[in-house]
Homo-oligomer: A and B are copies of this chain.
Amino acid sequence: MPVAPASPSNNPLIRRLDNYARLSAEDRAAVQRLCAEKVQRFAAKDDVIREGEEPRVIRLVVDGWACRYKHLEDGRRQVVGLFLPGDLCDLNVFVLREMDHFVGAITALTLAQITRDAFEEATLAHPRLLQSLWWDSLVTMAIQREWLLNLGSRTAFERITHLLCEIFLRLRAAGRARGQSCEFPLTQAIIADIAGLSTVHVSRTFQAIRDERLVEIRNRVMTIPDIDALMAASLFNPNYLHLSHEGRHLDANDAPGDVAPTV
């Protein structure tokens, strides 16, 4: 994976915010500065922040995957959110006194810590940026709602295919997909905790998915030969990702890696 030099659009956060509104060069530079502010690294499976702790900074995923999770007294565990590169933890968390959930690294993880002051300074100077960040925050809420629909109403097969579909589209929006493929470091155990299933049943379900040749996962890389078929199988309605500005359509293959759009 060759990393292009100083082009801002390699920054997955900028790529994502661009889905909402074109940022100016200054806006982009401001994001870059925020991302570089104070970098923090975690090993896979480490906790970034624990339930009960006081939130002090906004965190931004520069690289790697993480998740929010909760558990019940008796140990049952539920993943309630997924952070992909370019994702942002809640704006304004400072307002709360205490975390009500954990954030844990799934893979090796690089985070940027953004202080309240740096954030306020940046958004004051770049109102368009602030708008984009609100958009991001509302999309996060929309994803949570879609996950509720997933857990409450979809079958195991639909839940997992829906999840795979969402991950692919989110990564593509962050400039992290190439063609029909993207990185995929999730184990079946984590998928079980996301989908509210047992690991055994996740395994069973993956066989069915393989049988229908909807998805192929090998060496931590996921390939989706026919995204429309996958979307149909999972009853996937992309509206909740709110990516459709400029008349863009998700089923158009409009993000072919790092190639510039033809428009």
- Contacts from A to B (Cβ < 8 Å): 20, 51-52, 68, 70-74, 76-78, 80-81, 90, 92-93, 95-98, 100-101, 131, 134-135, 137-138, 140-142, 144-149, 151-154, 193-196, 235, 237, 239-240, 242, 244-245
CB-defined contacts of A78 to chain B, threshold 8 Å: 148-149, 152-153
- Ordered by A's residue number, 12 sampled pairs between the chains whose C-beta atoms are within 8 Å are A71-B149, A74-B235, A81-B145, A90-B138, A93-B138, A101-B145, A140-B141, A141-B141, A144-B145, A148-B151, A151-B196, A152-B194
CB-defined contacts of A80 to chain B, threshold 8 Å: 145, 148-149, 152
Contact in complex: B97, A244 (CB < 8 Å): yes
Not counting A80-B145, A100-B142, A144-B148, a sample of 9 additional A-B residue pairs whose C-beta atoms are within 8 angstroms of each other reads A51-B239, A70-B146, A76-B154, A80-B149, A95-B131, A96-B142, A100-B146, A101-B142, A148-B151
Contact in complex: B154, A72 (CB < 8 Å): yes
Closest chain B CB from A89 CB (angstroms)? 11
Contact in complex: B144, A72 (CB < 8 Å): no
Contact in complex: A100, B70 (CB < 8 Å): no
Cα distance A153–B146 in the bound complex, in angstroms: 17
Cα distance A64–B147 in the bound complex, in angstroms: 27
Q: Identify A92's interface contact among B70, B134, B152, B235, CB under 8 A.
A: B134
Instruction: Decide yes or no: A153 and B76 within 8 Å by CB, A144-B144, A145-B70 being known contacts.
Output: yes
CB-defined contacts of A146 to chain B, threshold 8 Å: 70, 100
Cα distance A137–B138 in the bound complex, in angstroms: 11
Instruction: Decide yes or no: A152 and B151 within 8 Å by CB, A96-B138, A98-B242, A235-B72 being known contacts.
Output: yes
CB-defined contacts of A147 to chain B, threshold 8 Å: 148
CB-defined contacts of A92 to chain B, threshold 8 Å: 134, 137-138
CB-defined contacts of A240 to chain B, threshold 8 Å: 100-101
Contact in complex: A196, B153 (CB < 8 Å): yes
* CB-based nearest B residue for A73: B235
Contact in complex: A90, B131 (CB < 8 Å): no
Contact in complex: A152, B196 (CB < 8 Å): yes
CB-defined contacts of A152 to chain B, threshold 8 Å: 78, 80, 151, 193-196
CB-defined contacts of A70 to chain B, threshold 8 Å: 145-146, 148-149
Contact in complex: A242, B154 (CB < 8 Å): no
With a 10 A CB-CB cut-off, give which of A81, A151, A237 has the most chain B CB atoms. Answer: A151
CB-defined contacts of A76 to chain B, threshold 8 Å: 153-154
* CB-based nearest B residue for A245: B97
